[in-house]
């Protein structure tokens, strides 16, 4: 191992692998969530990409995956190195506060000095070295007692991400780029996003948080004391034979809330959150427009084609085709088109409408069409 | 039967059912040509619609269908009333001169005074009474020794049809609207089509020709004497046991040429062709734009949905969806879209590109993809 690949001491990676990715329907489904797809053309799933990115940082034996019981087999098949103590199964989805909080509580019980970093299972980062540099600084921030967030230097005025409004530089050993946080801000409109980009004071919120487990849980407990109590109760018995019985009783009662609201925003308001600006590439691949962009390298004239057996005959067409069927797909004169061809559902839209895909999923839920969700 | 439904004496309808309809791929295929589809939402195929339209004109026992051997079973299934002497099977496609000429030659041998009218198997006409009025006049024209064409009064400056340039009124008993023909003209550009519409002197060429069989064959023989000789040889033996052997020998040698070039245009040039203007609705449903228009009633805001088991969830979308699979098809924010969903091929284009579908078929032919043609 080169010095760059030595795992950091006391550090544990946590991968919450929970979200379905509704805006990627009909590709993403309840039984085939976004993290189980290859959306980059890497030849492997986003989950596996995430794992491979984290192994040099924490070591394969120090990566914990939190996922739904229904996805256990798929996750284990993707990550054969994943050891049993490192897989945490949710009996039902409870959002990121419970998922990351449970991992933190379990790991804290096993090691009172553990620092954890949570990294989504379904984001794309290609600059592994840049990512590692930022994680190293974030760990230094965490060791100083803060909660660290990694923000991404925006490359364009994107409206699809939340932003972090940065404050002043903070003097922390081994974290030269650390800055304080003024606030977290929700997805902006385009003009606002342009202003953010121009100001240089805003970073994309990449949803990556690094913290001592005890600090994170203490912060969480102030916003959600009952949630913390439940997580602590679970952690107490996690490595014992009564785990399942306690999970079945406690987990369903837990609050369903994103960690942004229970940890990141309150910590920012109290001056306990520090951001490390990352200058690596990052994308949450949240919709089909992201996928098209990811594959086109920013060129408008491209047609991205995903799918092992994709057979596409295109004439004067741009956008993205995702094929799961092996059918011949012919496009003629359609621009910025999105075609997602699956065995039981077909989506035809445009990249400009990519965010509206979720509304279809909502309509299908309302009409009870769970067979295609 | 009302007086309007009494079949005309000596009249025989001929339905050439040959064309695949390449611009309707992947709906139309070699083994599922256009005339075997329901493109109108009538609940039955275009062929059956055509048959039903002709029965009151010639009687069910006086309609002859010329089709490929491969389509025999499908045609007979659609037309159980079709009697054996009235089905003419081609061993390979030979275009309309051979198809209609053979029908004319067979019928002439059976009845020297027969008048025939040829009507495509895959056109749409809904105004049955208007159609019958025009056919009645065309039969009067044919009985006067001319070849009659039925032209359609244009309702808009269409570039997708050929036109008939009309001349002066001609005095023929029982054909008060008959006019002479200056010329047949090919599909025009849009400006020319607008000028045609404004002038009032141009009709759409509906490809409907009515003539005494002997007159038609005499005309054809002047342009293509060898073709006439072949057709006559076939007709001589048609109702005998040696038919198949003679077909196998003679048919492959016949010229492959449209009747427009062998009969209609030469007859027009010689003053033997007379046009009866029809003021009924007519469409050759030549491409998906035609289908969209047919179903929208001219409104731009509509989404036409065809297919028995079509399940479409559309949001702010217009155009046409044709579904053969029963898959859920979701459209979001796509306008004038054409989606044709078949088990082995999917087409996504726009109504503006409808004419270019044929180029896909050509590309597939070149690359030997007969499995989807």
Question: pLDDT tens across A11-52, in order?
Answer: 999 999 988 888 999 999 988 999 999 998 888 999 999 999
Residues 325-354 of A with CB under 8 A from B: 327-334, 337, 339, 341, 343-350, 352-353
Nearest to B137 by CA among B166, B178, B180, B179: B178
Q: Could you tell me which chain A residue has the CA closest to the CA of B331?
A: A348
For B3-278, which CATH superfamily applies? Answer: Spore Coat Polysaccharide Biosynthesis Protein SpsA; Chain A (3.90.550.10)
| CA-to-CA dists, residue B239 to B87, B111, B232, B236, angstroms | 12, 13, 13, 8
pLDDT at A213 over 60: yes
**Long-range own/partner contacts, residues A334-339 (CB < 8 A, 24 or more apart):** A334/B337, A334/B348, A334/B349, A334/B350, A334/B353, A336/A292, A336/A300, A337/B334, A337/B348, A338/A288, A338/A289, A338/A292, A339/B346, A339/B348
pLDDT for B19: 83
Residue pair A62/A10 in contact (Cβ under 8 Å)? The answer is no
Within an 8 Å CB–CB cutoff, is residue B315 touching chain A?
yes
pLDDT for B2: 46
Q: How confident is the model at residue A298 (pLDDT cuts 50, 70, 90)?
A: low
Torsion of CA A69, A74, A79, A81, to 10 degrees: 60
pLDDT at A268 over 50: yes
Q: How far apart are CA B204 and CA B157, in angstroms?
A: 10
pLDDT for A11: 96
Residue pair B273/B147 in contact (Cβ under 8 Å)? The answer is yes
Q: Could you tell me which chain A residue has the CA closest to the CA of B341?
A: A346
Residue A18: what are its φ and ψ, rounded to 5°? -130, -40
Residues 11-30 of A with CB under 8 A from B: 26
pLDDT at A142 over 60: yes
The pLDDT averaged over each successive group of 10 residues in chain B (373 residues) is: 61 94 93 92 93 95 96 96 96 95 98 97 94 96 97 92 95 95 93 95 96 98 98 97 95 96 96 95 92 75 84 93 94 96 97 93 89 87
Mutate to test the interface with A, among B346, B352, B358 (most CBs of A within 10 A): B346
Measure in Å the smallest separation between the Cα of A317 and chain B Cα atoms: 9
Within an 8 Å CB–CB cutoff, is residue A6 touching chain B?
no
Residue contact B313–A26, C-beta within 8 A: no
pLDDT for B294: 86
Q: What is the pLDDT of residues A226-239, one digit of tens each?
A: 999 999 999 999 99
Within an 8 Å CB–CB cutoff, is residue B370 touching chain A?
no
Q: How far apart are CA A211 and CA A203, in angstroms?
A: 19
pLDDT at A365 over 50: yes
Give the helix ranges, DSSP H, for B32-189: 46-58, 72-78, 95-110, 128-143
DSSP B283: B
Count CB neighbours of A315 within 10 A. Answer: 16
Considering only A3-7, A80-84, B157-161, which range has the smallest mean pLDDT? A3-7
Q: Could you tell me which chain B residue has the CA closest to the CA of A313?
A: B360
Q: What is the sign of the dihedral through the CA atoms of A157, A158, A164 and A169?
A: negative
Within an 8 Å CB–CB cutoff, is residue B312 touching chain A?
no
Q: What is the pLDDT of residues A48-68, one digit of tens each?
A: 999 999 999 999 999 999 999
Q: Tokens standing for A335?
A: 């621009």
CATH 3.90.550.10 maps onto chain A at 3-278
Q: How far apart are CA A364 and CA A288, in angstroms?
A: 19
Segment (H or E) for A135 = helix A128-143
Look up the ipTM and state it: 0.86
Q: Longest C-alpha distance within chain B, in Å?
A: 62
Which of B337, B364, B369 has its CB closest to that of A348?
Answer: B337
Contacts of B339 in chain A (CB under 8 A): 346, 348
Residue contact A345–B327, C-beta within 8 A: yes
pLDDT for B300: 61
Residue contact A327–B339, C-beta within 8 A: no
- DSSP sequence for A8-43: PTTEEEEEEE----GGGTTTSBTTB-GGGS--SSSS
Residue contact B313–A346, C-beta within 8 A: no
Q: How far apart are CA A155 and CA A158, in angstroms?
A: 8
Residue contact B346–A360, C-beta within 8 A: no
Residue contact A327–B337, C-beta within 8 A: no
Residue contact B328–A346, C-beta within 8 A: yes
Q: How far apart are CA A172 and CA A143, in angstroms?
A: 10
Cβ-Cβ pairs closer than 8 A, A with B, add up to 107
Q: How far apart are CA A21 and CA A286, in angstroms?
A: 7
Q: What is the pLDDT of residues A315-355, one digit of tens each?
A: 999 999 999 998 999 999 999 999 999 999 999 999 999 99
Measure in Å the smallest separation between the Cα of B75 and chain A Cα atoms: 28
Residue contact A353–B331, C-beta within 8 A: no
Cα first-last separation, chain B: 44
Which of B313, B344, B352 has its CB closest to that of A328?
Answer: B344
Contacts of A369 in chain B (CB under 8 A): 328
Residue contact B330–A345, C-beta within 8 A: yes
Measure in Å the smallest separation between the Cα of B347 and chain A Cα atoms: 5
Residue contact B359–A315, C-beta within 8 A: yes
Residue contact A348–B356, C-beta within 8 A: no
Query: What angle is formed at CA B96 by the lines to CA B92 and CA B101, rounded to 5 degrees?
Result: 95
pLDDT at A1 over 50: no
Which of A315, A345, A357 has its CB closest to that of B360?
Answer: A315
At residue A94, the 3 state secondary structure works out as coil
Residue pair B78/B43 in contact (Cβ under 8 Å)? The answer is no
User: Is the bond leading into A370 cis (omega within 30 degrees of zero)?
Assistant: no
pLDDT for B41: 83
Mutate to test the interface with B, among A330, A357, A362, A372 (most CBs of B within 10 A): A330
Q: What is the mean pLDDT of residues A98-113?
A: 97
Q: Longest C-alpha distance within chain A, in Å?
A: 62
Segment (H or E) for B311 = strand B311-315
Q: What is the mean pLDDT of residues A227-252?
A: 96
Contacts of A353 in chain B (CB under 8 A): 332-334
Residue pair B57/B135 in contact (Cβ under 8 Å)? The answer is yes
Measure in Å the smallest separation between the Cα of A206 and chain B Cα atoms: 28
Residue contact A329–B345, C-beta within 8 A: yes
Torsion of CA B353, B355, B359, B365, to 10 degrees: 130
Q: How confident is the model at residue A6 (pLDDT cuts 50, 70, 90)?
A: low
In terms of DSSP bridges, do strands A345-350 and B11-17 run parallel, antiparallel, or are they unpaired?
unpaired
pLDDT for A19: 83
Residue pair B101/B217 in contact (Cβ under 8 Å)? The answer is yes
pLDDT for A2: 46
Measure in Å the smallest separation between the Cα of B47 and chain A Cα atoms: 28
Q: What is the percent of chain A with per-residue pLDDT over 70, rounded to a whole number?
A: 97
Q: How far apart are CA B68 and CA B120, in angstroms?
A: 14
pLDDT for A117: 98
Contacts of A345 in chain B (CB under 8 A): 327-330
Q: Tokens standing for A78?
A: 């993707």
Q: How far apart are CA B5 and CA B270, in angstroms?
A: 35
Measure in Å the smallest separation between the Cα of A330 and chain B Cα atoms: 5
Cα first-last separation, chain A: 44
């Amino acid at each position: 191992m080169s010095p760059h690949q030595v795992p950091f001491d006391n550090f544990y990676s946590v991968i919450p692998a929970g979200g379905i990715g509704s805006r990627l329907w009909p590709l993403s489904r309840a039984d085939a969530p976004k993290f189980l797809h290859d959306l980059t053309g890497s030849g492997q799933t986003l989950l596996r990409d995430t794992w491979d990115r984290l192994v040099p940082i924490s070591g394969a034996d120090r990566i914990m995956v939190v996922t739904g019981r229904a996805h256990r087999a798929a996750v284990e098949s993707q990550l054969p190195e994943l050891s049993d103590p490192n897989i945490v199964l949710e009996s039902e989805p409870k959002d990121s506060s419970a998922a990351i909080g449970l991992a933190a509580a379990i790991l804290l019980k096993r090691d009172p000095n553990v620092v954890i970093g949570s990294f989504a299972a379904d984001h794309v980062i290609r600059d592994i070295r840049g990512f590692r540099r930022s994680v190293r600084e974030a760990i230094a921030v965490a060791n100083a007692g803060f909660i660290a967030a990694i923000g991404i230097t925006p490359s364009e005025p994107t409206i699809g991400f939340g932003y972090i409004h940065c404050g002043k530089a903070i003097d922390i050993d081994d974290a030269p780029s650390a800055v304080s946080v003024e606030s977290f801000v929700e997805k902006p409109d385009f003009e606002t996003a342009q202003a953010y980009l121009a100001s240089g004071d805003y970073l994309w919120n990449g949803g990556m948080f690094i913290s001592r487990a005890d600090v994170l849980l203490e912060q969480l407990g102030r916003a959600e004391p009952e949630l913390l109590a439940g997580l602590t109760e679970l952690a107490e018995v996690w490595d014992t034979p009564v785990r399942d019985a306690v999970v079945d009783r406690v987990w369903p009662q837990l609050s369903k809330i994103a960690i942004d609201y229970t940890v990141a925003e309150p910590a920012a308001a109290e001056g306990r959150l520090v951001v490390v600006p990352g200058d690596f590439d990052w994308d949450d691949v949240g919709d089909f427009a992201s996928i098209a962009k990811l594959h086109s390298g920013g060129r408008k004239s491209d047609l991205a084609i995903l799918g092992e057996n994709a057979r596409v005959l295109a004439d004067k067409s741009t956008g993205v085709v995702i094929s799961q069927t092996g059918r011949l797909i012919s496009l003629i004169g359609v621009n910025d088109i999105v075609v997602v061809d699956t065995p039981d559902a077909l989506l035809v839209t445009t990249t400009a409408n990519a965010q509206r895909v979720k509304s279809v999923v909502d309509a299908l839920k309302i009409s009870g069409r769970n067979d295609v969700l």
